[in-house]
């Protein structure tokens, strides 16, 4: 149940040298080295709602606390007496829904993008009458029943699934058990219309919530380059770039991925679009496949590489950048003269500058001259928190490789 509004709410305090100004200006996180972690604070349960104070100043607001996490406090509300209950959750969800209703005609989108939508650590993707929640912070796990009830109240969805995959939950000390919170899970993949294509989303057994809505504008940009073209979609998942290209009139598309189930979903999407005769899939390691295609002297008019995060943390940054460079080096020779190369990164640790530099090095090492024609980011249903770089993780670079 939601924590009641009581005067004895726990209080936690910043250390004297902590950057309280950043919190007052909207920073959403407090790290464990910024907080006075006395015995009482350490004894708080994961997900407890507390008041955050700065010594000698007015309270900073209401936070969710997790002494087990390096992010020990997440800002929920600037009102230090805010009641975090179903009514509060419904208000945040209503604000998020209003924005998505402005953007989209059909209810297929990311409804909640964590801190940027005022619900720290919470991801909610919507698939028509079905919503998938990733409660990646302890407070959201503690209030999951209230969150599901508010979600059904605000959106009218009839099925709500909990997805517990991902490293963020482990960092919060949470389990990896999926669950059905409302209704019945779908007994087949769900067809999702996007950019004129049809994508098949496995909401119970697929990656993350079943589909990556964040690439929608980048799919559309690549599709505009693909009319009448041969397209290679590497790390395709369920056919993100290739199916959009086929919908736009590509002459043929090849999807490469390591997952046979993902490629089967891509093939089903192509069938539902009536484009199966222009679509081919190939299962295998992407780097090996790129090398093999080059050995066969194959070229494509458009090549897109959308890998998983090679640099998911600062510790992994340098090897991750080398992997992005290698990917660009192997992909560039497959682009026909005057064709297009799209390179993507979902690594928040790799800034746009570092990712762009690694990509350009790789293209240069392949002996190709290029023009950078477009830089893309996640769609507007994935808003970026202005003071949280991690929320702006997705980058997409599009190059024209000169004849």
What was the pLDDT predicted at 6?
Answer: 47
- Answer yes or no: is pLDDT of 224 > 70: yes
* Digit-coded pLDDT (tens) for 272-331: 999 999 999 999 999 999 999 999 999 999 999 999 999 988 899 999 999 999 999 999
Three-class DSSP category at 277:
helix
The burial class, CB within 10 Å (0-12 / 13-18 / 19+), for 374 is: middle
Catalytic residues: 346
pLDDT in tens, 28-49: 999 999 999 999 999 999 999 9
Q: 77-120: per-residue pLDDT in tens?
A: 999 999 999 999 999 999 999 999 999 999 999 999 999 999 99
The answer, yes or no, to whether residue 5 has pLDDT greater than 70, is no
Q: Is the pLDDT of residue 1 over 70?
A: no
% pLDDT > 90, the chain: 90
Query: Which contacts qualify for 32-41: CB closer than 8 Å, 24 or more apart?
Result: 32/67, 32/69, 32/70, 32/71, 32/72, 34/72, 35/72, 35/73, 36/12, 37/67, 37/72, 40/10, 41/12, 41/65, 41/67
| Confidence bin at 7 (pLDDT 50/70/90) | low
Give the pLDDT score at 2: 43
Within 8 A by CB and 6+ apart from 11, the residues are: 50, 51, 52, 53
Q: What is the rounded average pLDDT of the residues 161-177?
A: 91
- Please, what is the average pLDDT of the chain? 95
* Domains of the chain: residue spans and CATH: 10-77 (2.30.130.10), 86-182 (3.30.750.80), 190-401 (3.40.50.150)
Q: How confident is the model at residue 341 (pLDDT cuts 50, 70, 90)?
A: very high
Does residue 269 have a pLDDT over 90?
A: yes
How far apart (Å, rounded) are the C-alpha atoms in residues 83 and 156? 24
């Amino acid at each position: 149940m939601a924590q009641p509004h009581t005067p004895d709410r726990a209080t936690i305090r910043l250390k004297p040298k902590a950057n309280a100004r950043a919190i007052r200006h909207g920073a959403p996180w407090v790290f464990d080295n910024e907080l006075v972690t006395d015995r009482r604070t350490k004894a708080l349960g994961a997900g407890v709602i507390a008041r955050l104070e700065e010594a000698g100043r007015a309270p900073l607001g209401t936070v969710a606390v997790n002494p087990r996490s390096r992010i020990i406090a997440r800002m929920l509300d600037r009102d230090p007496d805010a009641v975090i209950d179903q009514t509060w959750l419904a208000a945040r969800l209503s604000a998020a829904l209003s924005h998505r209703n402005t953007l989209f005609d059909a209810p297929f989108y990311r409804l909640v993008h964590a801190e940027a939508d005022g619900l720290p650590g919470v991801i909610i993707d919507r698939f028509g009458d079905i919503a998938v929640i990733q409660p990646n912070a302890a407070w959201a796990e503690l209030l999951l029943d209230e969150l599901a009830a508010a979600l059904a109240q605000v959106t009218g969805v009839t099925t709500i699934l909990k997805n517990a995959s991902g490293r963020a939950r482990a960092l919060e000390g949470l389990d990896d058990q999926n669950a059905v919170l409302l209704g019945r899970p779908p007994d087949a993949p769900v067809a999702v219309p996007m950019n004129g294509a049809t994508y098949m989303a496995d909401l119970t057994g697929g990656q993350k919530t079943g589909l990556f809505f964040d690439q929608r504008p980048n799919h559309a940009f690549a599709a505009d380059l693909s009319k009448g073209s041969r397209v290679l979609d590497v790390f395709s998942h369920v056919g993100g770039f290739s199916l959009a290209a086929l919908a736009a009139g590509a002459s043929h598309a090849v999807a490469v991925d390591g997952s046979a189930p993902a490629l089967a979903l891509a093939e089903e999407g192509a069938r539902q679009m009536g484009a199966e005769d222009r679509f081919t899939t190939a299962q295998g390691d992407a780097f090996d496949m790129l090398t093999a295609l080059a050995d066969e002297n194959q070229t494509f008019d458009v090549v897109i590489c959308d890998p998983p995060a090679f640099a998911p943390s600062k510790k992994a940054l340098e090897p991750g950048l080398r992997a992005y460079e290698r990917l660009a080096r192997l992909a560039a020779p497959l682009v026909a003269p005057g064709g297009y190369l799209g390179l993507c990164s979902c690594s928040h640790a790799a800034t746009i500058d570092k990712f762009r530099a690694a990509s350009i090095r790789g293209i240069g090492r392949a002996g190709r001259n290029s023009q950078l024609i477009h830089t893309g980011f996640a769609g507007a249903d994935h808003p970026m928190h202005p003071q949280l770089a991690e929320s702006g993780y997705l980058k997409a670079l599009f190059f024209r490789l000169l004849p």
